[in-house]
Structure 1
Amino acid sequence: MPSTTHKPTVYDDERYNSGMSSGIFIVESNGSLRPAITFDQELRETTSVTLTTSNRYRWLAFTTVAVGQFTTVIGNSGTAVALPRIADDLELDLAVASWVMVAMALTISAVLLPMGRLSDVMGRKRVYIAGLLVMASGVTVSATSQNLPILLIGRVIEGFGAAMVMTVAIAIITSVFPARERGKALGMNMFVIGLGAVSGPVVGGVLVDVFSWRAIFIATGGVTIFGSGLAIIVLNEAKVRGDTPKAQGSLDWPGIFTSSAGLAILILSLTNGNRFGWDSPYVIGGFVAFVLLLAWFLRWEARAVSPMIDLTIFRVSQFSWAVSGRFFGFLMNGPTNFLMPFYLQEVTGRSASQAGLVSTPLPIMMAIIGALAGRWSDRFGFRNFMLVGLGLQLGTLATFSTFNHSTPLAVILLTMFVHGVGSGLWMAPNMSAAVGAVSRSAYGVAAAFLNLVRNTANVTAIAVAAAIVAGVMISRGVSSDLNAVSEDPSGPAGDAFVSGMHIVFRILIASGVMAMFAAIMAQRKRSQTEKRRTR
């Protein structure tokens, strides 16, 4: 008897109509039904991506946006290693020098959500290319600046462009890849970020030593021009949007203004606490203004017709806990990238290129382990990877808090190595956990918000670290001028800087503990939801 070919057929089954969606079933030879795909959401996500993008195009699109991600990271990490030289050249103390990093990070944090909304309205390809060109304009201003105000203007412009690139890049990656490959794609994205973090200190250190700190901005501009040309050729708006409908309505200008102003006031208050005094009416008033603006922003977004961020995504507990863990995790990591270049150059007397090389184990391991952890989290879940990674970083923070003028190079390299492993283990799984908790239609706003959380945590960490170290130096009767540290690393100024650095790393251990708690809660909530869905 000839064999019968059984084709998939859609049946409406009561088992999937009671609190669940309908599924696809295959008719077996005995007449029974076998579910081919359990839930409608998984079916829509997988088939829509498969129909609109081939595997070849997915990786072409990934490579294209990876260039933009790489550019934002290499520019910032290169600037970090050049920061001591910039401070010496422009005669800046630590608190003022921190604004070279804070200006860009604050701008990114302030405009990430508006840029996410803008890409929904105007199209992802258009906003992505515009972002790269804006970045090119910003680094040109920075490269030609002769004083701090012009340099900060360039960094602000660069931050606008970077925000446009970052929010669109993650949205494109999560849209062109099906749900079953999301962790792998985000892991590869972590590899690209790690590669940029590796290249920045190394290339930046060489450029600073051979030419000057301005060469870093010139090199970054060249990469952005190349990336914009590649995006024009490769990206297709219909494909990179996936099945996400194009947003309708106008931009949420009240929400944009309130969120930007609130974040700016918060960071200004944090960074000027030592200068004006923490009991100053200006500082206290700044914190009060931030709270009031935050309250008004939440109230407005809940009622707006076209909100900048749909607050209903926070009803998904896994997303909310993953976001919390992301904030505390990046808050724990931020001061390392800011303080270690000063420690390696000003305290231990290494050159910029040497400091860059000493820093490379961290981003190398973050890149390698991040790519692997993204794949592993697709198969085994995210919680264990996050807990192990964050646990390793708690240990390295304790080690960082013991560094002094004579710490052996082997200890520094090993600590950087382990810290990078920890970063790779938790960052990609955390992103996958957050994005995987929301529907595809919310990927754009979710990606923008996750990047906002990362940058807000980073800029807060830098501001707090600079305030603590400068405060310790001032309390010991020495100036926070970094020239005093480099001239006599083992003297009063150098000792005060190292003591302040120790305090920062010890405080951050509490942030790591909070991140671990959030990872546990996110997994617990997800498991309960899955149990309800499979009953």
Structure 2
Amino acid sequence: MREWWRRSVHGPNHKWWALVTVALGTFMATLDSSIVNISLPTILTHFRSDLATIQWVVLAYLLTVTSLLLTFGRLADIWGRKKVYTLGFGIFTVGSLASGLSPTPAALIVARIVQAIGAAMIQANGLAITSAVFPGPERGRALGINGTVVATGTTLGPAIGGVLVGAFGWQSIFFVNLPVGLVGIAMAVAILEEGRISTRREGASARFDPLGALLVSVGLITLLLALNRGAAVGWRSGQILGFFAIAVASFVAFIVVERRVVAPILDLALFRLRAFATGSLAALCSFLAISTNAFLMPFFLQLVLGFSPARAGLLLIPTSLTLAIVSPLSGSLSDRLGARTLSSIGLGISAVALFLLGGLSADAHYAEVLFRLILLGIGIGIFNSPNTAAVFGSVPRDRYGTVGGFLSMVRNTGQVVGVAIAGALLVAAITPVVGAAGLDALRTGAEGGATGGPLLGAFMQGFRRAFTLSAALAACGAVISLLRGPRAAVSEATPVVAAAKAEAD
């Protein structure tokens, strides 16, 4: 038995076993991100609390995960990716147990922060471990499978959450993580090999940059707080302007510190690598663009087309389902054709889909919506895997943790900023009609089945503006993606500065 295990798990097929282990963590983390939202009304009623307090159940998780991704990616490069990934599974599982047992809203929020710390450790290392065990010619396919797992977790989250809350109560959405977490810990311990997924560091390169980690975390937290709270508090309020000022100061100080320290948490020389810089910027444009659809389409389906929340949720599945199917295919193609053409085509298709979504009329048939959502899923699926594989292929192996954390940070930040921009455009359009009520008027309209009147006209105006901007962002991303250079093989031991010089030559 032991010999079979050694040959099967630690032999030539080790990369696939490692991928399964990573996929389990990725699925659990993405499922948890989407499963909680549907339970918020039940949690609010259970604790007899208010919406302003309960929304921190989601917001605290988002802020913690996003602010720590880069830190844990760097720590994994130093300490070892297996250690950080396995510890993340354990912390996430403990946080899930504490969340389900929480007696008060405050306790639940604290437990969610603990859960988010574990999720950040998992998310920051999932892509790095996958990229480390799969060689360049197979990496796109593996990352495509990872994309399928992400899409599946995101799609199934609301459905599984609804079933669990209805049958067993809101606590069950956290308790369901316990067996998954225990299995994940056992798999990580038994399957992952530090020597295969990590690079040994010695001397100055093994140092950690605590000041840089603190500055980037403060900058991200204050930026995301400002973007989340801006519409409710007022973009010109002292609180929001203060958050923005702290964020700007933190990021400026972060850049100054990173340029001076011996072992920065994010080596700025990475941005001298054209494939890394263009791939990261193209990814940011993609996440900024597609977040508009995730935010506005539920309002369109309910407020304009008059669908129930349950039906609207089901009708949004085609985008994720298409993404899940296309991602592995595009990843495999990128292993043979490279990322430049595929990623650019993918963002181009996304731009067309977003532009067409913005052109929907108030009396559109769902078949028209369905076509556009499927087209958007195709575009995202074609772009994501090749682009991620190209970014990892442009950097030395010992930076995979940092790069994985950075890309995850770009994803989360892009989604929050994109929602904030779409929300601001929508509020600007409906304010002349609803006054200070803002987005609350849309929620009231959706609950009441409002399908006509000035509110509808104002909503459609803001809807079109937001989707037009998102289409422009996706098109900009396609152009940026075209600017990436040809594929360049990077040795595991190639320093970043040397790689940048080689690429420039």
TM-score (norm 2): 0.84
Relative to 1, partners in 2 of residues 1:418 and 1:160: Cα closer, same or farther, differing over 3 Å? Answer: same
CA contact (8 A) 2:155 2:317 kept: yes
Relative to 1, partners in 2 of residues 1:60 and 1:521: Cα closer, same or farther, differing over 3 Å? Answer: same
Q: Counterpart of 1:272 in 2: which secondary structure?
A: helix
Q: Distance in 2 between matches of 1:181 and 1:81?
A: 37
Q: Distance in 2 between matches of 1:521 and 1:456?
A: 23
Match of 2:483 among 506, 518, 521: 521
Letter in 2 for 1:390: L
Alignment of 1:240-319 (within 5 A): 240-241=197-198, 243-245=199-201, 249-319=206-276
Letter in 2 for 1:284: L
Letter in 2 for 1:235: L
**Deviation, structure 1 residue 244:** 4.9
Please, which moves more after superposition, 398-407 or 156-165?
398-407
Structure 1 equivalent of residue 143 of structure 2: 186
Cα displacement string for residues 136-160 of structure 1 (whole angstroms, at most 9, x for unaligned residues):
3434454456776555444433322
Structure 2 equivalent of residue 504 of structure 1: 466
Q: Distance in 1 between matches of 2:97 and 2:468?
A: 38
Structure 1: gaps of 5 or more residues = 1-51
**Deviation, structure 1 residue 437:** 0.9
Relative to 1, partners in 2 of residues 1:102 and 1:422: Cα closer, same or farther, differing over 3 Å? Answer: farther
Cα displacement string for residues 267-310 of structure 1 (whole angstroms, at most 9, x for unaligned residues):
22223333443333433343233222211101111211332112
Q: Distance in 1 between matches of 2:114 and 2:211?
A: 22
**Deviation, structure 1 residue 116:** 1.1
Structure 2 equivalent of residue 463 of structure 1: 420
Q: Counterpart of 2:176 in 1: which secondary structure?
A: helix
> Which structure has more helix as a fraction of its residues?
2
Structure 1 equivalent of residue 131 of structure 2: 174
**Deviation, structure 1 residue 465:** 3.4
CA contact (8 A) 2:67 2:221 kept: yes
Structure 2 equivalent of residue 385 of structure 1: 342
Relative to 1, partners in 2 of residues 1:108 and 1:281: Cα closer, same or farther, differing over 3 Å? Answer: same
Match of 2:372 among 415, 433, 436: 415
Cα displacement string for residues 85-113 of structure 1 (whole angstroms, at most 9, x for unaligned residues):
778988877x9987655443332221011
Structure 2 equivalent of residue 120 of structure 1: 77
Cα displacement string for residues 172-202 of structure 1 (whole angstroms, at most 9, x for unaligned residues):
1111112222212212211222222332243
**Deviation, structure 1 residue 322:** 0.7
Identity %: 32
**Deviation, structure 1 residue 82:** 5.4
Q: Distance in 2 between matches of 1:494 and 1:142?
A: 39
Relative to 1, partners in 2 of residues 1:150 and 1:359: Cα closer, same or farther, differing over 3 Å? Answer: farther
Structure 1 equivalent of residue 283 of structure 2: 326
Structure ID, larger Rg: 1
Structure 2: gaps of 5 or more residues = 1-8, 490-498
Structure 2 equivalent of residue 489 of structure 1: 450
Cα displacement string for residues 54-93 of structure 1 (whole angstroms, at most 9, x for unaligned residues):
4311111110111001111122233355567778988877
**Deviation, structure 1 residue 321:** 0.8
**Deviation, structure 1 residue 525:** 9.2
Letter in 1 for 2:343: M
**Deviation, structure 1 residue 261:** 0.6
Q: Distance in 2 between matches of 1:431 and 1:316?
A: 14
Relative to 1, partners in 2 of residues 1:362 and 1:63: Cα closer, same or farther, differing over 3 Å? Answer: same
Structure 2 equivalent of residue 434 of structure 1: 391
> How much is the aligned-residue C-alpha RMSD, in angstroms?
3.4
Structure 1 equivalent of residue 492 of structure 2: none
Structure 2 equivalent of residue 165 of structure 1: 122
**Deviation, structure 1 residue 120:** 2.5
Please, which moves more after superposition, 64-73 or 516-525?
516-525
- Work out the number of aligned pairs and report it: 480
CA contact (8 A) 1:80 1:341 kept: no
Please, which moves more after superposition, 364-373 or 200-209?
200-209
Relative to 1, partners in 2 of residues 1:246 and 1:171: Cα closer, same or farther, differing over 3 Å? Answer: farther
Relative to 1, partners in 2 of residues 1:85 and 1:402: Cα closer, same or farther, differing over 3 Å? Answer: farther
CA contact (8 A) 1:112 1:452 kept: yes
Q: Distance in 1 between matches of 2:379 and 2:39?
A: 25
Relative to 1, partners in 2 of residues 1:246 and 1:460: Cα closer, same or farther, differing over 3 Å? Answer: farther
CA contact (8 A) 1:486 1:494 kept: no
Please, which moves more after superposition, 266-275 or 142-151?
142-151
Structure 2 equivalent of residue 30 of structure 1: none
Q: Distance in 2 between matches of 1:491 and 1:80?
A: 28
CA contact (8 A) 2:231 2:423 kept: no
Q: Distance in 1 between matches of 2:447 and 2:377?
A: 27
Relative to 1, partners in 2 of residues 1:78 and 1:269: Cα closer, same or farther, differing over 3 Å? Answer: same
Cα displacement string for residues 184-236 of structure 1 (whole angstroms, at most 9, x for unaligned residues):
22122112222223322433344455555554333344433332232222222
**Deviation, structure 1 residue 343:** 4.4
Q: Counterpart of 2:434 in 1: which secondary structure?
A: coil
Residue 133, structure 1, aligned to residue 90, structure 2:
yes
TM-score (norm 1): 0.79
Q: Distance in 1 between matches of 2:273 and 2:330?
A: 24
Relative to 1, partners in 2 of residues 1:377 and 1:88: Cα closer, same or farther, differing over 3 Å? Answer: farther
CA contact (8 A) 2:338 2:487 kept: no
Relative to 1, partners in 2 of residues 1:477 and 1:238: Cα closer, same or farther, differing over 3 Å? Answer: same
Structure 2 equivalent of residue 73 of structure 1: 30
**Deviation, structure 1 residue 400:** 2.8
Letter in 1 for 2:475: V
**Deviation, structure 1 residue 405:** 6.2
CA contact (8 A) 1:201 1:355 kept: no
Residue 228, structure 1, aligned to residue 185, structure 2:
yes
**Deviation, structure 1 residue 498:** 5.3
**Deviation, structure 1 residue 425:** 0.2
Q: Distance in 1 between matches of 2:309 and 2:41?
A: 8
Q: Distance in 2 between matches of 1:362 and 1:324?
A: 23
Please, which moves more after superposition, 414-423 or 222-231?
222-231
Letter in 1 for 2:216: S
